[in-house]
A = this chain, B = another copy of it.
Amino acid sequence: MPHRDPLFTHSGVDRLHALLNQFVAVRAHSIALAAPLSAEDQCVQSMPDASPTKWHLAHTTWFFETLLLQPFATAYQPFDSDYAYLFNSYYEALGPRHPRPQRGLLTRPALADIHAYRDYVDAAIAALARMDVAQNAVKLDAMLSLLELGLHHEQQHQELLLTDLQHLFSCNPLLPAYRSSRPLRADVPQKFQWLRHPGGVVSIGHEGPGFAFDNETPLHQRLLTPFEIASQPVSCGDFLAFIEDGGYSDPQWWLSEGWAQVQAQSWHAPAYWLAPNDPRHPNETWQVFGLEGVQPLHFNASVAHISFFEAAAYAEWAGARLPTEHEWEAAFGMPGLSGMQGDVWQWTRSAYEPYPGFRPRAGATREYNGKFMVGQQVLRGSSHATPAGHARASYRNFFPPATRWQFAGLRLARDIA
């Protein structure tokens, strides 16, 4: 049964106040994440798939301005009329936009301008509580829904800000660190256990008062075959065994398109791994580049920064397979499972498809999720970079199968013979 969200036990105005408190916290967290970075660091784009920190800060602000302030705050004047073009990401219904691969060319507006933009929009949102709209229950409901969506949207960008930054820094021969080392869990068991799920009809997806993205709906039933799932994600030590067994040079483990990528991109280890004697940062043993700079490979840590292809190849080599996203969700909460949240995203064997009966959100935000439902694989869980409280059991993350710059690993599953 879904968790009861306390916001919904109160009246609409109380919910508004509660959300505005969350708003302050979420907005401050974005600024805190960017704080260690120079204006230069925040401006540059290292590949078309990644965006500059400054762009993340501006785009999340544009989201509130465009979807909340413009329709609901009647006297609202946009901060700058050019920003709608500069900071729209992919909403066709909201007009033309700056090409994605050129986001890093926007040295203007300056970082200080974006900070002023954020302050301006934050003030306007704060003023919402005093607005007439609060008197209109239907409008208030629509507004709260968009405000809540905007908060979760900004949280998604908080994680992307970090993954995009790590990619940028990885392209710099100096391999700079964003932060000092984060503590690693010392208690991770070295060897996972197989946990058995009986299958049968299970409920998948979200329904109820708490927040969920439209792609998690409707709640529906699936019929599962009995299966086993690993108690923890695959570790770096596990994955190293695959590498050392020649996994990256044996086509038998790979999907056809994955093998083509291995050869075309010369993959020989997860992204950001430095093999012994890598000239970029010579060392006798394996190292990993991350937000903490170059660190020794931590064998017990969960492997990350692998593509779906590498996840699937590892599973094949290990005599297992990836779980479907439904198996993953059905297993959530089973005793003995660890790392289901806050460790690494976990590639599943499921393509990103609409649930039976799926209806996207109405209005401009119908483009939020639905239009990406082809050619991508679902990831479940959440990572150490996911803001606290953002994810949940029914959460569906998705990326193209060759994606490597996310905090994405895998958890094994297998059929019961």
Interfacial residues, chain A to chain B (CB-CB below 8 A): 38-44, 46, 82, 85-86, 90, 92-93, 98, 102, 104-111, 168, 171-174, 176, 201, 220-225, 251-252, 254-259, 308-309, 312, 321, 324, 349-351, 353-354, 356-357, 367, 371-375, 377, 401, 415
Contacts and interface: CB of A to CB of B under 8 A. Distances in A.
A148 to B, nearest CB: 24
A276 B160 CA distance: 40
A171 to B, nearest CB: 4
Contacts of A258: 374
A254 B90 CA distance: 13
A255 B351 CA distance: 15
Number of copies: 4
A255 B372 contact: yes
A221 to B, nearest CB: 6
A172 B349 CA distance: 40
Contact of A375 (B82, B254, B375): B375
A173 B109 CA distance: 10
Given A257-B374, A356-B415, A172 B225 contact: no
Contacts of A356: 224-225, 324, 415
B104 A104 contact: yes
Nearest to A171: B105
A98 B258 CA distance: 19
Interface of A is mostly: mixed
A201 B174 contact: no
A372 B309 CA distance: 12
Given A108-B176, A415-B356, A373 B40 contact: no
B255 A374 contact: yes
A92 B251 contact: yes
Nearest to A168: B105
A71 to B, nearest CB: 19
**For the complex of A and B, 6 pairs with smallest distance between CB atoms:** A351-B351, A92-B251, A223-B223, A40-B107, A40-B43, A256-B371
B415 A357 contact: yes
B225 A223 contact: no
Contacts of A373: 255
Given A201-B223, A356-B415, A415-B357, A41 B372 contact: no
B354 A353 contact: no
A367 B104 CA distance: 32
Contacts of A93: 251-252
29 contacts: A38-B110, A40-B40, A40-B42, A40-B107, A41-B108, A44-B105, A44-B107, A82-B173, A92-B252, A98-B173, A105-B168, A106-B172, A108-B174, A220-B225, A221-B223, A223-B223, A225-B356, A225-B357, A255-B371, A255-B373, A256-B367, A256-B372, A258-B374, A259-B371, A309-B374, A312-B374, A350-B353, A356-B415, A375-B375
